[in-house]
Amino acid sequence: MDELAQFKAEPRIFRRKARGNGMGIDTRYMKPPKCLEIPGRMLKYEYAQDLANDIEIQKGSRHFVIISGNFIAGDFIEALIVKNNWHVKNLTISTLSLSQGNVDSLVNLSNGNFTDQINLIVSDYFFAHERNGLVKYAYEHLDKNDTFQLAAARSHCKIATIETYCGFKITIHGQCKP
């Protein structure tokens, strides 16, 4: 069955509306605003600091990059926050696993007073195998003044959200392996 043949839209629903919705979009079906593009030569990165230096975060911007296998996402998060001198209200990272270097990056952000709250969500598999290793290390170095939370979930996602006091709400997501 051809589902597209069943789709019938009345032309009136695509007409521009007279009234705005306060977002500068005047149609019932929203077309996302055009995103700022970065040049193709800047799409491949091997080092987190290079990407953090080249990326300019603006309201409504999107950036798609190709990173090498030795790229450390945790280093990028630290480099991006430090480069922009952001005071982060809430940093949440959900990941399959992490390294001691990743924890150390979070410690640097915490000790440098860049973050108020760090939430870390790791896979239950990682938690079970690192309970007395990296999980313990994370608690020992990050759990100060009730500003750190760690949760284990049956999840394999790789997402970081950053909410800054200057009004940015940033989502970083990726996949390290094909």
Which pLDDT value is given to residue 158? 87
What residue ranges in the chain does DSSP mark as E strands? 44-45, 66-67, 88-95, 118-123, 148-153, 159-164, 169-173
Which pLDDT value is given to residue 60? 83
DSSP string, 24-62: S--BSSPPPPPPPP--GGGSEES-HHHHHHH----TT--
Q: How far is CA 114 from CA 10, 38, 95, 99, 168, in A?
A: 51, 27, 21, 21, 14
Report, as ranges of residue numbers, the positions in the chain whose pLDDT lies below 50: 1, 3-4, 14-19, 21, 178
Which pLDDT value is given to residue 89? 97
Per-residue tokens: 176: 């390290």
Which pLDDT value is given to residue 30? 58
Full-model pTM: 0.73
Three-state DSSP state, 123: strand
C-alpha span between 149 and 62 (Å, rounded): 28
Per-residue tokens: 167: 């009004």
The length of the chain, given as a count of residues: 178
Q: How far is CA 81 from CA 87, 100, 146, in A?
A: 8, 19, 21
Which pLDDT value is given to residue 64? 79
